[in-house]
Structure 1
Amino acid sequence: MDRIVLGNEEFEGRNNAYVLADDDADELALVDTGIATDDVRRDLREGLAERGYEFADVDDIVLTHFHVDHAGLAGEIQAESDATVYVHEADAPLVAQDPDAVATVEERRRELLEEWGVPDDARAELLAFFESADIKGRPADPTPIEDGETLAVGGRTLETVHAPGHAAGLCCFETESGDEAFVGDALLPVYTPNVGGADVRVERPLERYVATLDRLIDRDYERVWSGHRDPIAEPTARADAILEHHRERTDAILAFLDDHGPADAWTVSAHLFGDLEGIHIVHGPGETFAHLDHLRHDGVVAFEHGEYRLLEEPVGTGSRTKSVERQ
């Protein structure tokens, strides 16, 4: 698969933009575009030039999700080429930078940071990061897509596989062979995709992400092309490993509450991740919240007065030893 490796110092390491080209049909498509910084813009322009293309030649852009390290340059490329920008309908308003959609996300983030117990100084640092990081790029005019939709781009046929959790609209794009897929941040080869903080719109984020991992395991791809770093040669094993990681994290959270008593998400996050800075100020407690929220819905913990506490007698289907399981 032809990929252009792009710089990224903020989020999960190197990004990938994938080039799909059919020279006979004069069709050129990109899967993801990278972040809107000068260095990454240069990386992408030079990578395309090495292949004999420029931004103006791009016919289609397929975005795995709205995050700026994947969609940041989409609007700029579209302005030069009039390319069609495809993204899941849940993420389309954010790729378009619709003011109402952006305001809703910002308000929800403020509410959750308060609920999670994030201190004022950390909230101020996070806000300063968002204000100083001019990386979102220009708005695009996206074409919304949905699960199961087929895209004919760059001489290839891609099936849209909705894979929410990390983001509400995250999608994988399965190739015509059915053996491979572009997976964005649904699976990463080194880190585990953040859930809970990466997209505050997602309700019950860990449950949604576990369902996504189930779906990818069931499809049992031979290889997938991740949004960051190198391709994953054994994606089913990687998905299983990420599930195990979340089981272990759930157990660590239960042990902390058992040892220390009721606590808010920020306090538990500090135990798990230590000191946080930059974007991780929302990612750390967000992921912790995703687990605590999962445990609350399973009847293992209660949320009262801003803190989570273990229930002496778990209710419903919950149990002290229940971890994240395949559905």
Structure 2
Amino acid sequence: MDRISLSNSAFEGDNNAYLFADGRETVLIDTGDWMETTREQLEAAFDERGLAFADVDRIFLTHWHGDHTGLAGPIQAESGAEVYAHEADAALIEGDEDAWEEMHELQEQYFDDWRMPEEKQAVLRERMASAGGTNESPTVTTFEDGDRFSLDGYDHDLEAVHTSGHAAGLSMFETTLEGRREVVSGDALLPVYTPNVGGADVRVDRPLEKYLRALQKIVDAEYDRAWPGHRDPIDDPAGRAQYIIDHHEERSFRVLDALDRKGPCDTWTVSADLFGELESIHILHGPGESYAHLEHLERAGTVVREGAEYRLADGVSEVLAAKDDERWTLEY
């Protein structure tokens, strides 16, 4: 398996595409985004290996975000490759107008629920409109968690591992390389940043709960290595996953602390306390992440929602004060 690094202006760092080209079929996991620069880079990487887009037999996509799916349509058009994605993301990847309209309507609803200022909404809408590519969309074959795919001419399979949270259909692909259990983790596990939950895909119900579950799945799997959607390989996937679990626990404390200091407040106010002034796509990610934690804490009984505002449940402020110098483990 070859890792191909592709440029990306997003904060996560360069995207990765993963190429299997040593067997009787050519397989690609993720394609990079829709930009012409990315296409040129991927074409050059193929050319170095004596390949062209027309040689691709199958494409597996980790999730619907454009920086992972942007070239799937053009490659399929040249090669006739079968494109696979989790059933929860297939309609968006195929460019289904009804699915995208439903997404946009839900986003608008959350912008109001979060009390996002109108001027920030305008900036965000412009940013999201400019992020869309003009490439043709692929036709998608769907898979579910646990589906296994044999690769012709290889001594290992790919198994889909559904890891919802960052995106509804986000999936990893587990395999065995040279006797090691490894996983192409997409955005479920990144080496530097923690994937956004709550804003990156507003369709996900209970986004933090689902993402924590996905991280625990990675911890329990004890993979030898993870190949992420951005940046370099992760040599201790379980350790990195546990670090992100701990990070979210710490962020939950910060949310509780904000409510303790400020009193009842809306999602946008909590977001401002956590992340400060937000620009570009972070206008979506900041309140989305804050909402994911507030919703999670509400179901845990630690936070109470009243309209658009949240407050600490009775007695929580006293517990926070008593535990000020100690670690308090939240019951998830």
What TM-score comes out, normalization by structure 1 length?
Answer: 0.94
1:128-139 matched pairs, under 5 angstroms: 128-135=126-133, 137-139=135-137
1:11 Cα offset (Å): 4.6
1:2 counterpart = 2:2: yes
| 8 A contact 1:243–1:324 mirrored in 2 | no
| Aligned counterpart, 1:38 | 36
| CA spacing shift, 1:111–1:270, aligned 2, 3 Å | same
Q: Distance in 2 between matches of 1:77 and 1:124?
A: 34
| Aligned counterpart, 2:65 | 67
Q: Distance in 1 between matches of 2:186 and 2:329?
A: 26
| Aligned counterpart, 1:302 | 304
| Aligned counterpart, 2:277 | 275
Deviations 1:185-241 (A, max 9, x none): 000000001000010000010000000011111101010100000000001110011
| 8 A contact 2:66–2:132 mirrored in 1 | no
| Aligned counterpart, 2:92 | 94
Q: Distance in 1 between matches of 2:225 and 2:167?
A: 22
1:80-229 matched pairs, under 5 angstroms: 80-135=78-133, 137-153=135-151, 155=154, 156-176=156-176, 177=179, 179-229=181-231
1:71 Cα offset (Å): 0.7
Q: Distance in 1 between matches of 2:150 and 2:135?
A: 26
1:97 Cα offset (Å): 0.9
| CA spacing shift, 1:245–1:254, aligned 2, 3 Å | same
Q: Distance in 2 between matches of 1:297 and 1:51?
A: 52
1:279-298 matched pairs, under 5 angstroms: 279-298=281-300
1:21 Cα offset (Å): 1.4
| CA spacing shift, 1:127–1:231, aligned 2, 3 Å | same
| CA spacing shift, 1:136–1:227, aligned 2, 3 Å | farther
Root mean square deviation of aligned Cα: 1.6
Q: Where do 5+ consecutive residues of structure 2 fail to align?
A: none
Q: Distance in 2 between matches of 1:132 and 1:278?
A: 11
Paired residue secondary structure (2:231)? coil
Paired residue secondary structure (1:110)? helix
| 8 A contact 1:126–1:278 mirrored in 2 | yes
Paired residue secondary structure (1:85)? strand
| 8 A contact 1:35–1:137 mirrored in 2 | no
Paired residue secondary structure (1:175)? strand
| Aligned counterpart, 1:18 | 18
Paired residue secondary structure (2:265)? coil
Paired residue secondary structure (2:198)? coil
| 8 A contact 2:115–2:268 mirrored in 1 | yes
Aligned residue pairs total 320
1:166 Cα offset (Å): 0.5
1:88 Cα offset (Å): 0.4
What letter matches 1:61 in structure 2? I
| Aligned counterpart, 1:237 | 239
1:304 Cα offset (Å): 1.1
Identity %: 51
1:42-61 matched pairs, under 5 angstroms: 42-61=40-59
1:324 Cα offset (Å): 5.2
Q: Where do 5+ consecutive residues of structure 1 fail to align?
A: none
| Aligned counterpart, 1:250 | 252
| CA spacing shift, 1:119–1:323, aligned 2, 3 Å | farther
Q: Distance in 2 between matches of 1:292 and 1:136?
A: 36
What letter matches 2:110 in structure 1? L
What TM-score comes out, normalization by structure 2 length?
Answer: 0.93
1:22 Cα offset (Å): 2.8
| 8 A contact 2:64–2:90 mirrored in 1 | yes
| CA spacing shift, 1:59–1:31, aligned 2, 3 Å | same
Deviations 1:141-191 (A, max 9, x none): 000000110012363410111111011101111003561010000000000
What letter matches 1:91 in structure 2? D
| CA spacing shift, 1:261–1:297, aligned 2, 3 Å | same
What letter matches 1:225 in structure 2? W
| 8 A contact 2:114–2:267 mirrored in 1 | yes
| 8 A contact 2:63–2:69 mirrored in 1 | yes
